[in-house]
A and B are shown apart, each in its own frame.
Chain A
């Protein structure tokens, strides 16, 4: 199929061809662009349809509940927790989870320390454990303010950390990816691992909230 039969002039978004190149402001412009890119790259043999499908399936299979299970296991298995804090990548591999090219650093909340994760430069995030990051994590507001005023940001999430506790912000700017190991909430002692995993939200593992027994 001929893909470039329109000559070699520039394709600005606002030039005048009747009924041609969709306007960037039109609904579905980026939908079309994504589809066009995919078709072209497959046709040109850069990737195969299978490659794309496999990656899409993997992406869709990622869910914060996987992270939740890691946390729940750390709460119920002190030896695992030790391994998790020493070498997060190896520890999650024990549970059949992979970090891909990245390494995992697990940071522990204690009575004295609260941890919070951000990527100021882009949107690095432990996707294999938590799925795609939420919009707010990728927003300018979070990326810029999480490092300079973490306590104010936490308040916006309804989390207030007293001044006698330390707030540690982790800027995920290179090959490490981070997971916050929250404290096990009061009233959940002795709960089975599956039930504990359910109360660990994605937001708690990013460090903007703390889990509750509710």
Chain B
């Protein structure tokens, strides 16, 4: 019976970095997207937490909003609302449109 990755109380950890960054616009946007879905009871916070907890360890190690994004894609795919493939394709399309 192992302590799961998200269940952090008492785990070894280093000093606290007190610096605070304002959340980036994209991070606020996905937060709002999640909130909008919660308003319509389409995606509950409990489901999102569960999706976060179930992320592969290397993904869980990523920054807060990055892993949130990954969990959201997985959960939305699970619900049949979109697929990871679609997201990836759309990312390409947006990137090309912006001319990067």
Contact = CB atoms under 8 A, between A and B. Distances in A.
A contacting B, Cβ–Cβ less than 8 Å? yes
A119 to B, nearest CB: 10
A56 B25 CA distance: 10
Interface of B is mostly: helix
A36 B91 contact: yes
B30 A37 contact: yes
Given A34-B26, A56-B29, A141 B9 contact: no
A13 B29 CA distance: 23
Contact of A145 (B13, B17, B23, B86): B13
A121 B60 CA distance: 13
A16 interface: no
Nearest to A9: B85
30 contacts: A3-B93, A4-B86, A11-B85, A22-B91, A30-B26, A32-B91, A34-B69, A36-B91, A36-B94, A37-B73, A37-B76, A40-B86, A40-B87, A47-B36, A48-B36, A52-B32, A55-B31, A55-B33, A55-B35, A59-B32, A60-B28, A120-B9, A134-B20, A135-B17, A140-B13, A141-B13, A144-B8, A147-B9, A156-B15, A156-B18
